Structure 1
Amino acid sequence: MSGAEAITIIGLIASVTTIIETSRDLYDAATSAQGLHDAFRAVSQNIPLVLNILRDCKTVQEQIDRDYAASTDAHHRHELEESSKAVKPVMSACAENAQQLKKILEKVVPGDTAHWLERYKKATQAVMPYKKRKVEYSMKEMLEKLQVLHTIEAEKRSAEVEAAIQHLSELPPSLPEDDSRYSHSGAGPMNVNAGGGIQKNYSQSGGSNNKMYNAENRNFGGD
């Protein structure tokens, strides 16, 4: 492990820490945060836990780097090198989650509470296109990634992290779930009756394609 590699990993941890601290400051500075979905509050409440784990990781990594520099045992140096390599992809993934949270908070938290949901929808579409993602998911994923490291480096936080992940998992969705059972990418009509009862009077205008259905039971497929 070269000195440059060690600096890169420590720098990555520091970068994630800075992003999370910025997110904390954004939420704390908001005058209307109380009008947001509970998921935003849950995210904010978990920020101190994330910061504590990141500080633990930085402390451990700094010690690993010192041990690596001082050791002349090739096997020990290899173990330290592998330990550092394992941290880098986890922190890179955490950096992505942290950036998502910060960008959403930047767009959603400031302003009046009456239109926060519309700002939130637009923010998630801009920050995370093509993904079903919510603030609680980003925080939950970050904790799950850090959990891999913290179970090795700080067992005392295990129960706290598990409780935080469980709480985030049980929150009502901060955005309405898209009904992905029904999608249509081709030509022609799509007839859907998502509830009970009779599906009546569907029509498609347009010459020979004009059709109307008034059906109590319609069956498709094989036997």
Structure 2
Amino acid sequence: MRRWWWWIAGFTALFLIVGLGGGYLMWKAHEELWNPKDPMTVVKRAVAGTLQSPSFSFESTFLIRVDGREEVISRFSGDRAEGEKFHLKGTLLQSPAEIYTAGNLFYLWDPVKKNWYTIEKNRFGPQDLLLSEISPLTALDIKNIEGVTVTGIDSVDEDKCLIMECRTEVSNRLLAALWKDFYYRIWVDPEKNRICKVVVEATSRNGPRDRLILMLKFWNYGGQQNIDLPRVAERQQL
């Protein structure tokens, strides 16, 4: 009888050791996830995860603040599908706009002629620079990230996120030409390596009191977004 008690005691001790060890490893992994030692790596992974995602939904608002007055430059909502296709619908320079993109090709609605026409991105002139950088991903084309810090934990819809702040240089031609001192606040889901929300602020190169504010929100990663490009007659292409 005593031998059975020894077996029971041994198995119980082994179970406790394995259970405690597994619990410690899970706690350690959770601690490293939400209190990262290398926050810059977390940001880079999340940026890469967002850029490489084949599909998601998004909202974007681009506004400037001049002399304390805010003016919305663009406000869009839309989807990404199959990696290279985007559909955006909203306002651009206070006018209704609907845009499709597929690779280097843009589909634009002409409200006067009531039809769609296309234009290649490499054929944009200076007057079309704003349109050429309309993709929500251009703000994530960043380089020379500096001073990444974790400032808190927040939820964006149902996703628990780290709030991370940093200063960067941007590759976006339009933004870099007009603005400087870019400061990013990024809501990162560290479990899925993706971005749920971004707020970008920058200072005008022409007026230190003028500010740019760009707000982006991403959700429905990996969803079944379907984007059917408009049909355009050959003679309507530009």
TM-score, normalised via structure 1 length = 0.24
Query: Comparing both structures, which one devotes a greater share of its residues to strand?
Result: 2
More helix by share: 1
TM-score normalised by length of structure 2: 0.23
